[in-house]
Structure 1
Amino acid sequence: MDLSQLTDRLNTGLGQLRYGEAPDALYEPIRYIMALGGKRIRPLLTLLGAHLFTDDLDPVVKPALATEVFHNFTLLHDDLMDQAPLRRGKATVHEKWNPNVAILSGDVMLVRAYELFLDVKPELLAYVLRRFSQTAAEVCEGQQWDMNFETETEVTIAQYLDMIRLKTAVLLGFALELGALMGGASREDADHLRQFGVGIGVAFQLRDDLLDVYGDAATFGKRVGGDILSDKKTFLLLTAQAQANIAQQATLARHVGQPVTDAEAKVQAVRAIYDELEIRPQTEALINTYFQDALQHLERVAAPAERKKPLHQLALQLMDREQ
């Protein structure tokens, strides 16, 4: 099972989707954001989850694409809430059009995502829709917690990890569960795949946090140190604050939550504290813990080992990524 061929198949399917024609101001922003590209990780996981149990992936493509449409809907609204100017190097929808368009076009994307699930077999449809609705609500909960953390002074590491589980990981878990169910898996196997996806998702976000501080700007795709400059309460910052001595706490207090007068100096100062406290290896160790726990769930799935290899390969790519 070639991952690049599956990705091409998904991109072809996305290109064939019709969201609507008029008014153009409603539908053109949808076509715009969906054409910006991306790794297509979620629908790819759905196809790979199904392939563990069946060779017939044609009925799985549209429901798989539903996860991608929903994911991009969340990006469209998240960009508006964050007032982000760029998405994948291009102007965000609210910048290119306006905030009202971003809201309404996003609403239509959510509706279209639900429509794409109508290709699910009738005997599975109600269950899949319940699971998707639960997942969608959890993603929104994660986003709200993330926004809450911006103004809360006391955020624990456990709270942060649960936030990224909700905001990022549960959708990866659902994507795999969806594919497994459509491929004919038992509920038990589908749940193991869901937990595999959730574990990979948390590890994926922790890797993103790490790259934001230590990544190569040329390959990371956005400014390195952005989380430090915005005082984002990541695992790295929360761990540093918990472990810092008095002098290190004083240094962090001078930079975190204060107006930025010298961006580079702030990034270097906070990163120096991370280095002193060995935050990077601690983060890498936690990433590995989530990754290994996730692999245990994949091992428990009653499917041939040969068919699990593409999933294992994709998981490794997500963990080893530099962007």
Structure 2
Amino acid sequence: MVMMTNSEDPFGPMPSRWFVGPPAPRGTAFLARACSLAILVLVGHWVRVPLGGVGIQPVPVPEDKGGGNDTSKLFNWHPVLMTLGFAVFMAEALLSYQAPIVPGVAREVRKRIHWVCHLSACCCLLLGLAAVIQSHRLKLPAPMPDWYSPHSFLGLTALGLVGLQILVGAYSYLWPRLTLSNRLALGPLHRFWGMAAWLAGLGAVATGLQEKVTFIQMKGLPREDLYRSIVRLPAVVLPLLVVLAALVLYHQAPPPSRPLVADGLGGGSFTSGGGGGGGSSHQGLLRGGRPADDDEESDEEGSQGRRRV
């Protein structure tokens, strides 16, 4: 028989936790929201000043300038709404569980914020899609084609993933039709595909900004304008998208947990050091100690489980 001293832990060594997390410090949530707002302000200023603002109707073009109409102001809704949907509402939806704006709010409130943000993002994305389609089809004398660029294919992929996430989430969690065990099992997959859809959306925003700048340059942009806001603002937004993704996803990183070891009683069962009992060990396996996103779990688990070490 192996004797253990009082300093030894039968569940293995306690993992260290750095002052920067995980779990992520609350300051990173503040920085993520500030970054999200900065992206929206920069894109809004870019659309309003260098690109000429937004409109809901095509603008007639005089015959001496070629005739037809100009739908650029109608198109300009597209980058604003897509940025609002992906970089603001969906970013807040991902932060709502791990880092809500008001600390300590009930899990049911966080769940509602999560859904309201996702539905708001969905409305923005659909309106942005309608804006670009209408601007293409109403352009005269020759309408522009749809779905011809890599940006459009990436954008459609992101929209498809978001739509599937909303349908699966509504079926599983908003109006649950699955058992508790199935919801617990689906939780990590729902989180993973939600993050994948969001990253695809940020990628679509980045490629869309680059595509618009390329079109502007193809029209004969003077050399001195290469260093002005019409090009510089999108150039600043792109690295901010990377920073936003890093800050938001950092909150999804699981906290450190003890290794899973046998209970030593000959039963062959396993438990996690932070679980304290067999009833919660499956949650540790699901999410590295963090409880699954399910409305039937206690509020205490939802707010405190992610901070166990």
Scaled by the length of structure 1, what TM-score is found?
0.38
TM-score, scaled relative to structure 2: 0.39
- Whose relative contact order is higher, 1 or 2, with alpha carbons under 8 Å and at least 6 apart? 2
Indicate the structure with greater helix content: 1
